[in-house]
Amino acid sequence: MVFGSRLPQATAFADLLATEGVTRGLIGPREAARVWERHVINCAVLTELLAVGSEVCDVGSGAGLPGIALAIRRPDLHVTLVEPLLRRTTFLVEVVAQLGLANVEVSRTRAEELHGRRDFSVVTSRAVAPLPRLLSWCMPLVRRGGEMLAMKGSSAAEEVAAATPVLSQWTDATAEVLSVGGNLISVPSTVVRVQATRPSRLG
């Protein structure tokens, strides 16, 4: 229902997370038993919010979540995984090669180092930082008319409320708290969406 003909790649990714991902400290050992619902499908459903052919930047990609899950489910996307730590990017490069994901590139860098150099239609993240800091990293990478999609937990609405003064620096729109994947997983994914109503290269 989620991956269709791409299920073999999704299964291979889940297996890598549950083995190499745990061994290399990218996910906790207790997460291995629930890697499908809590990680792979939880992230893949984010594609419900992505337009066809979107250029996606996944900031702080870590073990490839949500970026690799998005790229597996939606081969029409072009996904750039941004991750500064060598041990994580090494894992990501290996996963991309093993799964044959031609629509993914891995960039070992910090998001701030891409400001003014690249922009994207969508910038994603998952449990990377509090919303005010995340906005300063991600929004300069979102081209005008695009959006930031931040996967958050149950306190997403409180984070948005606390970040209201900072939000006004980056957008004229109101941040939305969305639930996705409710028809596929028992606990829907919570996403904060911030639309970019101004040019991406902000001073």
Most confident range (mean pLDDT) of 23-32, 75-84, 173-182, 190-199 is 75-84
H or E stretch covering 107: strand 104-107
CB 50 within 8 A of CB 74: yes
- Mean pLDDT of the residues in the chain: 92
Helix spans in 30-185 (H): 35, 42-44, 67-73, 86-99, 131-138, 156-162, 164-170
Helix spans in the chain (H): 7-16, 22-23, 35, 42-44, 67-73, 86-99, 131-138, 156-162, 164-170
Kindly report whether the global pTM for this prediction surpasses the value 0.85. Answer: yes
β-pair type (189-195, 176-180): antiparallel
Residue reference for tokens 């930031």: 148
Average pLDDT for residues 23-47, to the nearest whole number?
A: 91
Query: At CA 12, angle to CA 122 and CA 31, rounded to 5?
Result: 80
On the CB side of 91, CA atoms within 13 Å amount to 25
Query: What's the CA gap between 39 and 149, in Å, rounded?
Result: 16
What pLDDT is attached to residue 104? 98
Q: What confidence tens digit (pLDDT) does each residue in 96-116 have?
A: 999 999 999 999 999 999 999
